Chain A
Amino acid sequence: MTIPYSIFLIAYAVLAGIFLIGMMMSLWSVLRFASMSKIAMISTFIFIIAVLGILALTWQNVHAFDWRQTFTFQVPSLRS
């Protein structure tokens, strides 16, 4: 049975997608209720920069990896 390495990338993409939904909801909440105050804008800016920084560091470390490789393992057979 062969499993492509890209499956891990897909799993990360799913987690990142869920995170982005949460991020959008929290940004909406800030924009809706914080009335664009200076502190709210600065904290939102810092949050977005931190997220972009994490994603950039992740990309820097994984973009060169060959995700087309596969992982092969044998399923134990019941036959002798």
Chain B
Amino acid sequence: MQFPGQKPDEKVTMLVRKHWSVLVRQVIMFIIAAGVPLAIYLVITKVMNITLDHSSLGFVLAVLGVSAFELYVLLFFFIFWIDYYLDLWVITDSRIVAIEQEGLFSRRVSELPLSHVQDVKTDVSGFVATMLRYGNVTIETAGEQSKFVFEHIPRPDLIAQKIIELQPNLSPIQQQSVAPAKQNTPTPKSGTPVI
């Protein structure tokens, strides 16, 4: 696994993106928007049994209008997809990197050395979040940026556990006894598949 800005001797432990449910609403809106012209066409031709004159100006203008509409719907959905896909959190053996894409030309990268991690909290709230197992992980730091937040990510309990395990300041015995400070999700059982 590699990510932009990775150091030569750095090993990536986890690459985390937002949960797929973030995309669902946009996908549904895209399908509805893209399907409306087709639905109208089917209603006119099949239900109302109106025969369209394919050589008329009206039909041609309708085709051009629908074509432009579909192109822009597709473009907006692709831009949203890019924004979703390029947002990611990278946990390596030495640091946590948060890459946030804001639009097409704006990108914010935050970095947190693992040695600066003071506290790790997970938060899973709501019926849907509990069923789909996604939530937030908040890391309190000793650096200038007091909080580092992983938002809307899958299996936040596993992410928190991994961050704690990678803590360089803790001895192996201390690592076994440390749990996330605040955890609203049940501890995963052994053998739980990793993301």
- The residues of A that contact B105 with a CB separation of less than 8 Å are 25, 29
Please give me the residue from chain A that is nearest to B77 by CB atom.
Answer: A47
Do the beta carbons of B63 and A58 come within 8 Å of each other? yes
Q: A54-76 vs B: 1/0 string, CB under 8 Å?
A: 11011001101100010100000
Select one of B70, B75, B104 contacting A29, CB under 8 A: B104
Question: A12: which of B2, B3, B67, B70 is its contact (CB, 8 Å)?
Answer: B67
Which residues in window 32-46 of B have CB below 8 A to A? none
- Residues of chain B lying within 8 A (CB to CB) of residue A19: 68, 71-72, 75
Pair A33/B63 contact, Cβ less than 8 Å: no
A69 to B63, CA, bound (A): 18
Whether A43 touches B81, Cβ cut-off 8 Å, given contacts A25-B104, A61-B63, A62-B64, is: yes
A26 near B79: Cβ-Cβ < 8 Å: yes
Q: Taking the complex as formed, is B57 at the interface, i.e. its CB lies under 8 A from any CB of chain A?
A: yes
Across the interface, do B85 and A61 meet the contact criterion of CB distance under 8 Å?
no
Query: Size class of A's contact patch?
Result: 20 to 34
CB of B82 closer than 8 Å to a CB of A: yes
Interface contact B71-A62, CB-CB below 8 Å: no
Nearest chain A residue, comparing its CB with the CB of B57: A5
Selected from A5, A9, A50, A58, the residue in CB contact (under 8 A) with B74 is A50
Query: What is the interface residue range for chain B against chain A?
Result: 20 to 34
| Closest residue on chain A to residue B75 by CB atoms | A22
B residues near A47, Cβ cutoff 8 Å? 74, 78
Q: How far is the CA of A43 from the CA of B2 in the complex (A)?
A: 19
Using Cβ atoms and an 8 Å threshold, which residues of chain B touch A58?
A: 63-64, 67
- Residue from B57, B60, B71 within 8 A of A16 (CB atoms): B71
- Once the chains bind, are A61 and B60 in contact (CB under 8 Å)? yes
B86 at the interface (CB under 8 A from A): yes
26 A-B pairs with CB atoms under 8 Å apart are: A8-B60, A12-B68, A15-B68, A16-B71, A19-B75, A22-B75, A23-B78, A25-B104, A26-B75, A26-B104, A29-B105, A30-B82, A33-B101, A34-B85, A35-B3, A43-B85, A47-B78, A51-B74, A54-B67, A54-B71, A55-B67, A57-B67, A61-B60, A61-B63, A62-B63, A71-B57
